[in-house]
Amino acid sequence: MTFDVPEDRRYLESHEWAHETNGVVRVGITEFAQDELGDVVFVELPDEGDSVTQEAEFGVIESIKAVSDLYAPAGGEIVSVNEALFDSPELVNDDPFGEGWMLEIDADDTDELEALLSAEEYEDQIA
């Protein structure tokens, strides 16, 4: 099975993606990650206004069979949380790179993203 790895974003080894627009970084998990987890039933996310640092835990995702921590690809203030996931956590399975997004972070330093994996590097990791 091959998994989609969009080239317009960067990746953590722990399978989160980061997509930056004007200093705001949108965060989710990859198609590979949602497939490994299976049916997502619960997502625990921080509140808007909370701060995160790069590679620190920001939340938890639970599928029927497993629990997994979520790690922030960038540091900054959380400016938006995808509340749709609270009622419809399956969006993470259905559309991990789109409607299944989790957070938007107003990044302290977008240069931090340079440290993450490129699409090509992430693809090698999951191959």
Partner 1 sequence: MPLQTPPLRGIHDERGAKFTEFGGWDMPVEFDSIRTEHAAVREDAGIFDVSHMGQIHVTGPDATALMQRLTTNDVTRLDVGNAQYAAITDEDGVVIDDTVIYRLPDEDGDETYLFVPNAGTDEATHERWVSHRNGWDLEATVDNRTDEYAMFAVQGPNAADLVDAVTEEPVTELDRFEATDAAVDGVDCWVARTGYTGEDGFELLVPEAEAERVWSLYDCQPCGLGARDTLRIEAGLVLAGQEFDHESNPRTPYEIGIGFTVDLETEFVGRDALARATEAGHEEQLVGFQLIDRGVPRHGYDITNTDGRVVGTVTSGTMSPSLEQPIGLGYVPTEYAEPGTTLQVVVRGQSKKTRVETTPFIETV
What is the binding site for partner 1 (CB under 8 A)? Answer: 1, 38-39, 41-42, 44, 60, 62, 64-65, 67, 86, 93
Cβ atoms of 45 and 59 within 8 Å: the answer is yes
Least spacing, CB of residue 62 vs partner 1, in Å: 5
CB of 40 to partner 1, least distance (A): 10
Of the candidates 3, 1, 32, 2, the residue with the CA atom closest to the CA atom of residue 15: 32
Amino acid type, 14: S
Minimum separation from the CB atom of position 65 to partner 1 (A)? 5
Nearer to partner 1, 86 or 121 (CB): 86
Could you tell me the two tokens for 105? 């972070």
DSSP 120: H
Rg of the chain over all Cα atoms, to the nearest angstrom: 13
**Is residue 113 within a helix (H) or strand (E), and if so which, with residue range?**
none
Which of 67, 79 has the CB closer to partner 1? 67
Closer by beta carbon to partner 1, 54 or else 63: 63
Please identify, using beta-carbon distances, which residue of 34 and 54 lies nearer to partner 1: 34
Write the CB contacts of 127 (distance below 8 Å, at least 6 apart in sequence): none
Minimal distance, residue 102 CB to partner 1, in Å: 16
